[in-house]
Amino acid sequence: MPPSSPVQSAPLHPGAWWLWSLSLGIAATRTTNPLLLALLITTSAYVVATCGRTTPWSHSYAAFVKLALAVLLVRLLFAITLGSPIPGTHVLVTLPELPLPDWAQGIRLGGRVTAESLVFALYDGLKLATLLICVGAANALANPHRLLKSLPGALYELGVAVVVALTFAPHLIADVQRLRSARRLRGRPDTGIRGLLQVGLPVLEGALERSVALAAAMDARGYGRTAEVPPGVRRTTTALTLGGLLGVCAGTYGLLTAEGGTYGIPVLLAGLTAALSGLRLGGRRTPRTRYRPDRWDVRSFLVAGSGAAVAAAMFLAGATDPAALHPGVVPLVAPTLPLLPAAAVLLGLLPAFLAPTPKEPSS
């Protein structure tokens, strides 16, 4: 008898993956220490390799890694060609400097390239690259369709539009590949302007037919119907939602800047509370049901909490020992690995033990 297949654990709530990834990204914005940033990248990569499933969106992590490398190279290129405000004494190379008009004072092209300016650009670019990689981990781990299904009722129209957009591009690419293969089998050109025109028309016709069929199916399922709510509830919903979003923007700005570290978290929490309250009230206008809704179980809370613990520990380390999170470049010193923030980053590995990808049963 063939061995029985192992019991596969239910996938985590997609919101838990996004909270975990965004928390790692927030932690990355609080430091320029390359050792801590490399540890954050390694943590996200290990979790993606351990918990990632074979899905169409799982390949997005590699795309985000390539984008992060491109951002890092562009940041270094700008530091070399446009200079840097960081003073330095270790001159690596002197490039030919182009004269600029008087109205471009403060900008230079070429000139001296110092080790201090390159190291500062490397630290700055690596911080942004780490943030992009953390966002790529969320895209690779979270199912976008399940995430959109979990949106509150107030964002129902936005969710429908995003679902249509997500399903349109893959079908369009598949149609182009199918028609080009058919033309090659018939010995007809599939490249150049002529081939593009002869392939493009059937593709657009198929996309139009699919859009009409989707609109008819949505209309048959009751999309677009709304419920009557009192005017006072509508005004309260609008005020809470707009005020909450403004609070989220102000709190996020405070978290991303060194000056706003004191008011960033309270304003962000207040904005989130107001926005969630407004979305909950707004959901009364669009009553709907969900088939097999995703639940926040204990594992989902632990995964989201592990990312929040990493971000909180990085904030605490920045308040107690900021020099360890921001190694100096003038004078140029070698970065050191602070033990407490590094141990806190390792808490981000918890999802690899809570939600690993189930192994295929042996035949």
Give 287's pLDDT tier (boundaries 50, 70, 90): low
Check if the beta carbon of residue 348 is closer than 8 Å to that of residue 44: yes
Would strands 109-114 and 91-98 be described as parallel, antiparallel, or unpaired?
antiparallel
Q: Which of 3-17, 45-59, 330-344 has the lowest mean pLDDT?
A: 3-17
Q: What is the spatial distance between Cα 189 and Cα 89, in angstroms, rounded to a whole number?
A: 61
Which of 292, 319, 339 is at the close of a domain? 292
Q: Report residue 35 as tokens.
A: 């050792």
DSSP bridge pairs for 112: 94
Angle (CA) 133 135 138, round 5°: 115
pLDDT tens-digit map of 235-272: 787 788 788 888 888 887 777 665 655 777 788 888 88
Residue 5 pLDDT: 39
Provide the domain limits for residue 246.
Answer: 228-292
Q: What is the spatial distance between Cα 80 and Cα 26, in angstroms, rounded to a whole number?
A: 28
Which of 248, 271, 292 is at the close of a domain? 292
Which of 265, 292, 319 is at the close of a domain? 292
Q: What is the spatial distance between Cα 29 and Cα 319, in angstroms, rounded to a whole number?
A: 14
Residue identified by tokens 């790529």 is 136
Q: What is the spatial distance between Cα 361 and Cα 4, in angstroms, rounded to a whole number?
A: 8
Check if the beta carbon of residue 261 is closer than 8 Å to that of residue 267: no
Task: With respect to residue 3, please indicate whether it lies within any of the assigned structural domains.
Answer: no
Task: With respect to residue 312, please indicate whether it lies within any of the assigned structural domains.
Answer: yes
